[in-house]
Amino acid sequence: SPTVGVLALQGDVREHLAALERLGVATTRVRRPEEVDAVDALVVPGGESTTMAKLARTFGVLDPLRKRIGAGLPVLGTCAGMIMLADRVLDGAAGQETLGGIDMTVRRNAFGRQVDSFEGPVEVAGLDTPVHGVFIRAPWVESVGDGVEVLARVDHDGAPGGAAGRIVAVRQGCLMATSFHPEVGEDSRVHGLFVDLVRGS
Ligand code: GLN
């Protein structure tokens, strides 16, 4: 059985560990370079992407993670984690670094500020019924390259300039990302899709 790590520098680490444990997979926290080498897959949680990137640099895991992603490490990124997996970021902080890996342009805080956080049903490709999507200062995917599969879109009227059919979940190879927080609540189906990818890789 694979060991799935959760990047534990910042953000909602415990909720992801719990979601993975409900699926019966072995989990561990990843904070140091040697821990990067020890996992078969990784979850990059929600939180704050500029802080997470800075801490990844400080803890010496940014480049080891980039190397492993380049070599095919399966990764699920949620919210700030989606930003971390993006090759390109709009509205990022000056000099904001990412891990990269998914050929997409992500707009940070796209759905608005904290007060504009929202929840609602999201239909995700591969799942029979919608998941309850929790969006907290969430990014959306502005555009994707040819190799990227769109897994979900949402319409959110409250977003600045409107947000019809915005991309909120994607997959490229064994990299997956969601704008929303699938670790909130008891529904582990999005993590389940990721674990299926891990087992198939
Ligand atoms: N707005 C945050 C960022 O820029 C992401 C928010 C979240 O992860 N809930 O990183």
Indicate the pTM of the whole model. 0.95
* ipTM exceeding 0.85, yes/no: yes
48 appears as a binding residue in the annotation: yes
Q: Which CATH number characterizes residue 128's domain?
A: 3.40.50.880
**Whether the Cβ atoms of residue 116 and residue 143 lie closer than 8 Å to each other:** no
83 lines ligand 1 (CB under 6 A): yes
45 lines ligand 1 (CB under 6 A): no
Hey, which residues are catalytic here? 79, 181, 183
Q: Using one digit for the tens of pLDDT, what is the confidence trace for 6-15?
A: 999 999 999 9
Number of domains in the chain: 1
Backbone Cα Rg of the chain:
15
Q: Using one digit for the tens of pLDDT, what is the confidence trace for 31-63?
A: 999 999 999 999 999 999 999 999 999 999 999
Can you tell me which residue has the tokens 């993006």? 86
109 lines ligand 1 (CB under 6 A): yes
Domain that holds residue 132: 3-200
173 appears as a binding residue in the annotation: no
The encoded tokens of residue 82 equal: 């989606």
Atom of ligand 1 nearest to the CA of 46: 8
Pocket test for ligand 1, best of 52, 79, 108 (most atoms within 8 A of CB): 79
CB contact set of 160 (below 8 Å; sequence gap of 6+): 112
